[in-house]
Homo-oligomer: A and B are copies of this chain.
Amino acid sequence: MTDEDYMTLALGEAQKALQADEIPIGCIIVSQNRIIGRGHNLTETLQDVTAHAEIQAITAAAATLGGKYLKDCTLYVTVEPCIMCAGAIGWAQISRLVYGTSDEKKGYTRFAPQALHPKCSITQGVRADECKQLIQTFFKNKRS
């Protein structure tokens, strides 16, 4: 499985959000080639601003592992994490972050560049066009 393959699975999670009329963002967490957590944005469904894809995937992954630190895990998310989610990724000590499209308005790289664990490696731009198009189509349909 490549980064592109895993991002395709994260896009599948984002599709679940879209079907629930949520901003389509999806996330999976992988440890030793095994998916240990999944999540998609559910802020409207749950009426809870904390119900971002990453937060749910981190909670799920910790439950799978039986421990709160996700040190040797890779988190794949379709959109650059926000401040809140980057903070959570930092607390979980996730060792690698892979994201699709950047979020210039709300992304952590602009507002909290030191949020992640210092040893976390970051890859951006994986399936970026598909990740971005999903978001753009959602908002375009909302406005029309």
Say yes or no: is A90 at the interface (Cβ < 8 Å to chain B).
yes
Per the bound structure, the CA–CA distance linking A119 and B80 in Å amounts to 25
- Can you list, as one digit per residue, whether each of A104-122 has a CB less than 8 Å from chain B (1) or not (0)? 0000000110110000000
Q: How many A residues touch B, CB cutoff 8 Å? A: 30
Say yes or no: is A86 at the interface (Cβ < 8 Å to chain B).
yes
Residues of B within 8 A of A47 (CB): 62-63, 66-68
Shortest distance from the beta carbon of A109 to any chain B beta carbon, whole Å: 12
Say yes or no: is A83 at the interface (Cβ < 8 Å to chain B).
yes
Shortest distance from the beta carbon of A21 to any chain B beta carbon, whole Å: 14
Say yes or no: is A138 at the interface (Cβ < 8 Å to chain B).
no
Interface residue stretch chosen among A4-12, A24-32, A48-56, A127-135: A48-56
Say yes or no: is A98 at the interface (Cβ < 8 Å to chain B).
no
A residues engaging B (CB < 8 A)? 43-44, 46-50, 55, 58-59, 62-63, 66-69, 82-88, 90-92, 111-112, 114-115
